[in-house]
Structure 1
Amino acid sequence: MTSSQHLEKLLLSCRGLSPQTEGVSRCSRFRLTITTEQRQALDRKLIAAQKLGDLRLSKFILTIFAAVHYQETEQAALILQLSVAQVEAYVHKFLCYGVRGVAFTKPTGRRPKLTTDQRRELSRLIDAGPQECGFSGACWRSPMVQQLIRERFAVSYSVFYIAELQKNLGFSYQKAAFVSDHLDDVAR
């Protein structure tokens, strides 16, 4: 027995419906039926999602199966531990895109503060040296790079992140180690 069949029996027993009503949802607004091919494709996706441990995709597919077998979205939401709005959104996505829409893309994350062109420009400026950029020192320090970025690109980075940014740009860096004043210079 596949997990979708197990869920279907669970949902049917909770609702008091017989297996003859299987495949039809009598929602107050629409009636959802799926073809055998769609059911098989959803079963394959569900098995793959469960093997990968993708809980979100598994709940999406189980929501579709619940919508096919049940009248009330509230009950499906309760059983699957989702909000009613999320159940309706999953069903809406399935209605719009079919089985192809039953997928999630990984979020890309936060965009970097500096664009690729700005990073290239920063690399060029760091290669040129601090004196070429208007600083009096002979070698770069993190506060100098921080000031350069703020002046040229109007982007503010923490001084503690500058070393990591330099590493990401391909530069080697040294973080200053704390040395106590009372230690003997000769012994070091």
Structure 2
Amino acid sequence: MRHPAGGGMNAAARARREEVLSQAATMLEESKPTTQIASELRGSEKSVREWRRRWAAGGTNALASTGPGGSDCKLSPEQRKELTRTLDEGPLAHGWEDARWTLARVAEVIERRFAVGYTLRGVSYLLHLPEP
């Protein structure tokens, strides 16, 4: 199971989740019905069906968390520092006629400078990352 940035979970919450998945594996081995597993583990039937599918394909190990999801940043730490310096120059220095950075403009600067494509959502995420 993949959870972005740890799924917003601290270590204790991740441990509880792993315990729930372990209990689910035991119940699946006992052929308990989906509704019963969902009720006892206080989860959704949809999650239990997904667990059952993965368990059937790979056993208990298939239920283990695979860690945080998402992809790694496309820019290196040095490129991110360079992007910060570039954005500090302002939009006028990069050919725009007003002094507003938009996500689309930042994406265009990244494409021009680093030959890396970003969606607008990806640019927003990138701009909110802690400094490298």
Give the TM-score, by structure 1 length: 0.37
- Structure of higher RCO (CA pairs closer than 8 Å, 6+ residues apart): 2
Which of the pair is proportionally richer in helix?
Answer: 2
